[in-house]
Structure 1
Amino acid sequence: MPNIEFTQGRLDDKSQRKLTAGLESHSQMQVAPNYDKQHVNWTVRDNNGELIAALTADLLWDWMYIDELWVDDRCRGTGMGSKLMKHAEQYAIISKLSGLWLWTQSWQAPVFYQKLGFVEFTRFDDFPKGHSRIGLRKTLSS
């Protein structure tokens, strides 16, 4: 009988490759779209070359997932976050994507994203206790 093992941390590279190959194989048998995730990012550096803002995202199927948006505290309130989001949206439009989506926490910036036209599509309350994890998306017109 197979043995179930518990470990913490990431799988070793060989196991992760096997897992990914198995998922891809199953998806192909189900005639699912290819799982071709691409990573993109936009960065802002000051005159000394120091990173002061960044947006990282994943492109998968017809959507862009905004993974991380960060602006250094010294630059908050300057519109830099909005500019980065606008660059990501323009890239999504040019790439003919269906839209953008992201997760944020209730203590982070849900109102910021809503001002940019994002709409809440799901919410996990008490994650963590007393707070919410919020899923937001912005559909792009084709």
Structure 2
Amino acid sequence: MLTINFAHGALDTQKQQELSEGFESHSETQSAPPYHKEKMNWTVQDENGKLIAALTADLLWEWIYIDELWVDDRCRGSGMGRKLIAKVEQYARDNHLSGLWLWTQSWQAEGFYKQMGFEEFTRFDNFPTGHSRIGLRKTLVPPHFEV
């Protein structure tokens, strides 16, 4: 008889490997493009080497997912966030990537990203209650489709 087990936390290493192999195997049967996620980051340190801003991202299937963008409170309003986004966008353009995308919350930086040319592609209202989780993207090159 099959059982469904519940546990808090991440899968153990063996189960995670089995899961990954299962996804890869299924993707191959569907002729899906290979799954290769590359982590990257851009950081800014002050003259003493203290981190004052950072942007972390993942590159997957010609799109950069911006995971975290943080600027120290003392540097907010200085243009540091814009400079980091510009660096990521230039990297994407230099590498002929399709675009950038991210999640933000309604209390965070929706207006900032829209000023940077991002457009909303989805919104989850009441996540958490009274707020929204917003998906934003910036397309850089038109997709290439083979027919």
Please confirm whether the aligned pair reaches a TM-score higher than 0.5, indicating the same fold: yes
Give the aligned length. Answer: 142
1:124-139 equivalences in 2 (<5 Å): 124-139=124-139
Cα distance in 1 for residues equivalent to 2:43 and 2:21: 32
**Partner in structure 1 of residue 61 of structure 2:** 61
**Partner in structure 2 of residue 39 of structure 1:** 39
| Partner deviation per Cα, 1:49-90 (whole Å, 9 max, x = no partner) | 111110001010011100100001111000000000000000
**Partner in structure 2 of residue 85 of structure 1:** 85
1:95 corresponds to 2:95: yes
CA RMSD of aligned residues (A): 0.8
1:99 Cα deviation from its structure 2 partner: 0.5
* TM-score between the two structures when normalised by the length of structure 1: 0.97
Structure 1 spans left out of the alignment, 5+ residues: none
Could you tell me which amino acid in structure 2 is paired with residue 117 of structure 1? G
Q: Calculate percent identity across the aligned residue pairs.
A: 67
1:48 Cα deviation from its structure 2 partner: 1.2
1:47 Cα deviation from its structure 2 partner: 1.2
Structure 2 spans left out of the alignment, 5+ residues: 143-147
1:116 Cα deviation from its structure 2 partner: 0.3
Mean Cα displacement is larger for which, 118-127 or 8-17? 8-17
* TM-score between the two structures when normalised by the length of structure 2: 0.94
For the 8 Å contact 2:96–2:141, the answer to whether it is kept is no
Q: Which runs of 4+ in 1 moved over 3 A?
A: none
1:22 corresponds to 2:42: no
Q: Per the alignment, in what secondary structure is the counterpart of residue 9 of structure 1? A: coil
**Partner in structure 2 of residue 72 of structure 1:** 72
1:45 Cα deviation from its structure 2 partner: 0.7
